[in-house]
Amino acid sequence: MVQDLKARITAEYIADLRCDFLVLHSPIDSIVGIENAAEIFAHAKHPKSFVSLDKTNHLLANAGDANFAAEVISSWAQSCLPRAEKLNPSKEGDALVSASPDSDFAYYILAGSYLMRADEPDTVPGGLDGRPPPYDFLLAGLVACTAMTLRLYAWCINR
């Protein structure tokens, strides 16, 4: 597996990635040396971040270390998401859409105060199957509207 990764993950491949990049490394990691992590970081384009995880092993075997790494990743990932306060639709019924950098077809959708994400399935070239495709959103909206309308009619009849 390591040889396969070495053959596929080249400096050019890393440089061509179109996404925010986070490298985590421990100075006492005996599996991946600091020179490997530094090389990956050097080839990545901005925005990128490097976090040194002190006193932990490669597999984050200690639960406290794993929790710390998870908190770091979570905090870092928040900066990659669109900020809801910057994307306020002007009135009810409006929606804003912004492209996601990690897939050719992934989009963030802000409808009211709800942030959603759509993507194409991985069977479509460029799709990563990261979230429901637009057709599923459309179907879900129609089904929800139909169910709510029927419930409203039933509620009015029984009053």
How big, in percent rounded to 5, are the helix, strand and coil portions of the chain? 40, 15, 45
Q: Using pLDDT thresholds of 50, 70 and 90, give the confidence band for residue 4.
A: low
Q: Which of 144, 80, 88, 143 has the alpha carbon at shortest distance from 114?
A: 88
- Distance set, CA 107 to CA 76, 120, 121, 141, 150 (Å): 20, 10, 13, 17, 31
pLDDT tens digit sequence for 47-84:
889 998 888 888 888 888 888 888 888 878 777 765 54
pLDDT tens digit sequence for 21-54:
888 888 888 888 888 888 888 988 888 899 988 8
Q: Can you name the residues that pair with 108 across neighbouring β-strands?
A: 98, 117
pLDDT tens digit sequence for 113-155:
788 888 888 888 877 777 788 888 888 888 888 888 888 888 7
